[in-house]
A and B are shown apart, each in its own frame.
Chain A
Amino acid sequence: MRDITKIYPNGVVANDDVNFSVERGEIRALVGENGAGKSTLMKILYGLESFTSGAIYLDGQRVDISSPHKAIDLGIGMVHQNFMLVPSFTIAQNVVLGSEPRKGSFMDADAAIRITESLAKEYGLEVEATARIDATPVGMRQRVEILKTLYRGADLLILDEPTAVLTPQETDDLFEAVRRLVNQGKTVIFITHKLVEVKEISDTVTVMRHGKVTGNVATKDVSEVDIARMMVGRDVFLQVDKAPQQRGKAKARVEHLGYISETGRPMLRDVSFNVYEGEILGIAGVEGNGQTELVEVMSGLKPATTGEIYVGDRQVARKNARQVRRAGVGHIPEDRLTNGVALEATIAENLVVDRYYRPPIAHASIMSPRVIRSQSEALMAEFDIRAAGYDAPMDSLSGGNMQKVVLAREFSADPALLIAAQPTRGVDIGASEFIHNQLLAKRDDGKAILLVSADLSEVMNLSDRIAVMYKGKITGVFQNSPDLTEEELGFYMLGIKEQTPEEMAQNM
């Protein structure tokens, strides 16, 4: 791809004179922070986006890729971050969707299954051809996506942040599959911002920053720190410095909390813990073991079925989100870009959602545009939110800046208890470093912080204490110390070990 420039209609330059190439049979990592332009560049290559100027060459021939159809004809396939599968179809149906094998004018269902199974076997991408998508785990859905592109004859596969949704085991499986694909002559472009993965899987790396390429290197020649520097443009500290803890009294008390979902499944079972002032309590666990529900119940989005939650001396277990916020709870939601912001609203409207109804913004239901403006501009400056103005629409921001809007709002509310759910998911290195430092600053300032994260190393780096959740229960509570290992926590995460109430009480 030569001299590619892409300017969106709103004026954002996503790619600025980018040159990018990939050799046959290699695994090339494409890294960069959110909004650096990697996804845009790949969407151009796959024909999803048009480019403003530049040219694309394939095997030395200039090619015109104006639609994904043309890309597929040229042997280019893309696996998106958000899977594009039909949940109610079987895996085989999804694989052949759009170019189904036919028998007369009907789809040949047996052939579809046969094709899927033989492709799966050939590339070592194990799937159950007859299972419905909505009944299969995420790792398998991803393999289905890859099979889909292979079925359409892809030689060059673009994988857009494929590991973002995978567990460590699934990631290992994926890497193995990717290596096998390359051994069979395929070429892979691997978009990521996890540096560990870059080192592990890729042959060469292209680094992008602010729409430009800042480095093209062989992976073996550089360290993670080198790549991080190219991405961020300065030195990055991958480890956090933690001050000694000054623990105060219990700020939040969760007592025998139970929650039964709308479909009647018990998601939280007798969950009890305290969060102390000046403490980060980490909740570790494999995703889907009740952490999401715990956060939703504690932040007032769902009513607890049984049990009590106290913040200070206020009982908030069945209060609505506004009352919970008024009790001093801040909430950085897990699904920030769907629940934490409103894309069609302006930046200012996003920043004031927790405080628009009370002074100084509103008096007797009349809002002051002047105060909204001054508060928003102050927050945008403090949190370095880069946008055309406080009244710019939210969807004109890059993903990273949208994240900052959420952080600006929740940190500036100065909550006594801050619930941070997956705070660095989908966030680049520079921003994660910032978030971690902010969380630690709040802790040192005597606030109580509940950190829920599927990233075990994040939990272990930041937390003072760690509670492990398994199937809606707390199976262990630990003081964080250098002696505590990931393996040990892993036993509790998988439900192999469980503390007795007495053992747990020691660390409460």
Chain B
Amino acid sequence: MPDGSAFYSTRQTDLIVKSKRKRFLLEFLRIILVVLIALGIGFIITLFVSDEPVAAFKALLTGPLPKISFEGGFHIKGINRFGNWMEESITLILLGLAVSIVFKAKQFSLGADGQLILGALAAGVVALYVDAPLPIHIGLALVAAMVAGFLWGLIPGILKAYIDVDEIVSTLMLNVIAIQFYQLVLVQWLRDPTAGFIGTPFFPKTAILPLVIPGTRVTIALFIMLASVFVVWFLMERTTFGYEIKVIGANRKFAEYGGVNTKRVIALSMAVSGIFAGLAGVHLSMGLLKRLTLNMSPGIGFEGIVVALLARNNPIGVLIAGLFYGYLRTGAQIMERSSDVTREVVLIIQAIIILLITAERLFPLFQEWWLRRKLSAELDSNVPEEEAAR
């Protein structure tokens, strides 16, 4: 192209947020800012509803952390609370990963709940009816859950991609089908008639995920989760499938023009998403409960949406956001147990966070203000020189 005169002056290049690292930092700052504002509002609400707001808020903010105690020798207290935090976060991160894949393609999915429950069911059936030594048994159950999640995601994917069925409607309906089917199988065939409630017998030892942190229920699901974060990152950043998902999300017409088979990729993105929801089902059944119960996961599937939104669909971000969100949820349970504040207050804080995060313009406004301030300071310092020159 003609005309090589500099497009950016030095002053401009200074101000350009050009490196990815800096953008990442700003993104992180944004989340912190949002959370602080939300917590501030939450505290004000707590002031109104609680007789001892400070203690209640302390429970929320520090509850999930283990406490080191030296009374009667060195030991760690509250490891189970820390465990709760990790258990919660593993579920949330796996679900967040699942949702983020679909979101990246600018599709919507509310189907994680159904995929999770069928993943748990598939894992449970393998756990109860297949006889195999320890690593193989778990492996088979994992594969069964992943396949179940994949297939249950593929259905709305195909419906959306090829016959244009709205995925919000189809995934919600499929959730209902999955949950009812799960309950049917449980009540009709799998239930343990000797138990006092509706649930399967405990899984055999070979089908229970090995414990990682004693005194908690944190199992190797932790490593499954970390591996999943890596796999999703690799999928999105290094494979053609991830590229196709990103390009479709950025501009579907452009993807078609470039020769991407957009229908196939959209259908597959929803199916691949189901794999990770299925793994969350494994964590719940083979890790936490060690059996299948009637009400295993009331609505947790939707929390994955919050995590993916917080993380802007970045897999590493999902890890951080999941840990954070899990912390908040665990803290909420502890606050509820140990103070006069009800859990609803925390739900309000969560809602405020989601509102602030989805307010896309909030951060750019902050950025613009910062830029303007910096520039005017610079202009002010330049003025005397120019006048002196005249």
Q: Name A residues whose Cβ lies closer than 8 Å to a Cβ of B.
A: 7, 9-13, 16, 52-53, 210, 232-234, 299-301, 320-325, 331, 333, 338-345, 349-350, 352-354, 356-357, 362, 365-367, 369, 383-386, 388-389, 391-392, 404, 430-431, 433-434
| Interface residue stretch chosen among B14-22, B136-144, B335-343 | B14-22
Closest residue to A300 on the B side, CB-wise?
B259
CB distance from B307 to the nearest CB of A (A): 21
**Docked complex Cα distance between A100 and B368 (Å):** 36
B75 in the interface, Cβ–Cβ < 8 Å?
Answer: no
Q: With a 10 A CB-CB cut-off, give which of B5, B259, B260 has the most chain A CB atoms.
A: B259
Contacts of A232 on B, CB cut-off 8 Å? 2-3
CB distance A353 to B260 under 8 Å? yes
Chain A residues contacting B257 (CB-CB under 8 Å) are 299, 301, 321, 331, 333, 339-340, 353
How far is A391 from B20 in the complex, measured between Cα atoms in Å? 8
CB–CB B16/A340 < 8 A:
no
Do A9 and B247 touch (CB < 8 A)?
no
Bound Cα distance from A473 to B185, whole angstroms: 63
How long is the Cα–Cα vector from A386 to B16 in the complex, in angstroms?
13
> How far, in angstroms, from A52 to B259 measured CA to CA in the complex?
42
Q: List 6 A-B contacts (CB under 8 A).
A: A11-B8, A11-B18, A320-B261, A365-B241, A366-B240, A433-B2
A342 to B249, CA, bound (A): 9
What is the CB-to-nearest-CB distance from B251 to chain A, in angstroms, rounded to a whole number?
4
Check B3–A349 contact: CB distance below 8 A.
Answer: no
Instruction: Check B18–A13 contact: CB distance below 8 A.
Output: no
Q: Closest residue to B254 on the A side, CB-wise? A: A342
Is A53 in contact with B379, judged by CB distance below 8 angstroms? Answer: yes
The answer to whether B7 and A210 touch across the interface, beta carbons within 8 angstroms, is: yes
Binds A, one of B108-116, B314-322, B369-377: B369-377
Instruction: Check A9/B1 contact, CB under 8 A, given A341-B251, A365-B240, A369-B238.
Output: no
Q: Which residue of A lies closest to B7 (CB)?
A: A386
Given the interface contacts A320-B259, A322-B259, does A339 sit within 8 Å of B3 by beta carbon?
no
A-contacting residues, B235-259, CB 8 Å: 237-241, 243, 246-247, 249-251, 253-259
Which single member of B17, B259, B375 contacts A7 (CB below 8 Å)? B375
Within the complex, the shortest CB–CB distance from B246 to chain A, in Å, comes to 6
Cβ contacts B253-285/A at 8 Å (1 or 0 each): 111111111000000000000000000000000
Whether, in the assembled complex, B12 has its beta carbon less than 8 Å from a beta carbon of chain A, the answer is yes
B interface list, Cβ under 8 A from A: 1-5, 7-9, 11-13, 15-18, 20, 237-241, 243, 246-247, 249-251, 253-261, 364, 367-368, 371-372, 375-376, 379
Bound Cα distance from A19 to B1, whole angstroms: 28
A99 to chain B, nearest CB (A): 27
- Assess whether B12 is in contact with A321, with CB atoms less than 8 Å apart: no
| B9 partner residues in chain A, CB cutoff 8 A | 13, 16
The 8 closest A-B pairs by CB, nearest first: A322-B259, A353-B258, A11-B16, A342-B250, A342-B251, A384-B1, A344-B250, A388-B18
Q: Is the CB of A234 within 8 A of B372?
A: no
Complex interface: chain A residues within 8 A of B249 (CB): 344
Q: 5 more A-B contacts (CB under 8 A) besides A11-B8, A210-B5?
A: A301-B257, A349-B247, A354-B258, A356-B243, A383-B1
Q: Given contacts A333-B257, A384-B1, A404-B1, are A367 and B239 in contact (CB under 8 A)?
A: yes
Contacts of B253 in A (CB 8 A): 338-339
* In contact, A353 and B255 (Cβ under 8 angstroms): yes
* Distance of A9 Cα from B5 Cα, bound (Å): 23
B250 touches A345 (CB 8 A): yes
**Assembly CA distance A354 to B259 (angstroms):** 6
Report A-chain residues with C-beta under 8 Å of the C-beta of B239: 365-367
A13 to B7, CA, bound (A): 9
Most A CB contacts (10 A, CB to CB) among B18, B253, B257, B367 go to B257
Candidates B12, B240, B246; contact of A357 at CB < 8 Å? B240
Q: Is A430's CB under 8 angstroms from B1's CB?
A: yes
Complex Cα distance, B32 from A466, in Å, reads: 62
Contact of A11 among B4, B13, B240, B258 (CB under 8 A): B13
Of all chain A residues, which has the CB nearest B106? A344
Task: Give the residue name and chain of the B residue nearest to A385 (CB).
Answer: B1
**Would you call A340 and B254 a contact (CB within 8 A)?**
yes
Q: How far is the CA of A345 from the CA of B106 in the complex (A)?
A: 13
A12 to B15, CA, bound (A): 9
Asked if B240 and A384 sit within 8 Å, CB to CB, the answer is no
The answer to whether A344 and B251 touch across the interface, beta carbons within 8 angstroms, is yes
Instruction: With CB as the reference atom, state the residue of chain B lying closest to A51.
Output: B372
Q: Which residue of A lies closest to B20 (CB)?
A: A391
Q: Known contacts A321-B256, A339-B257, A366-B239; decide if A10 and B16 are in contact (CB<8 Å).
A: yes
A340: chain B residues within 8 A (beta carbon): 254, 257
Q: Which residue from A353, A385, A404 sits with its C-beta under 8 Å from B247?
A: A353
A469 to B240, CA, bound (A): 40
> In the assembly, what is the distance between CA of A52 and CA of B371, in Å?
9
Distance of B225 from chain A, by nearest CB (Å): 23
**Nearest-neighbor residue (CB-CB) of B363 within chain A:** A9
Instruction: Give Cα A10–Cα B250 distance, bound, in whole angstroms.
Output: 19
Contacting residues, chain B, for A338 (C-beta < 8 A): 251, 253
Name the distance in Å between B209's Cβ and chain A's nearest Cβ.
Answer: 30
A281: min CB distance to chain B, Å: 22
From known contacts A340-B254, A342-B251, A345-B250, infer whether A367 and B238 are also in contact, taking CB-CB under 8 Å: yes
- Closest residue on chain A to residue B249 by CB atoms: A344
Q: Are A7 and B2 in contact, CB atoms less than 8 angstroms apart?
A: no
Q: Is the CB of B238 within 8 A of A9?
A: no
A345→B18 contact, CB < 8 A? no
The answer on a CB contact under 8 Å between B1 and A7 is no
Interchain CB contact under 8 A, B12 and A7: yes
Closest residue of chain B to A361, judged by CB? B240
Give A219 Cβ to nearest chain B Cβ, in Å: 24
Q: Shortest distance in angstroms between A2's beta carbon and chain B's nearest beta carbon?
A: 15
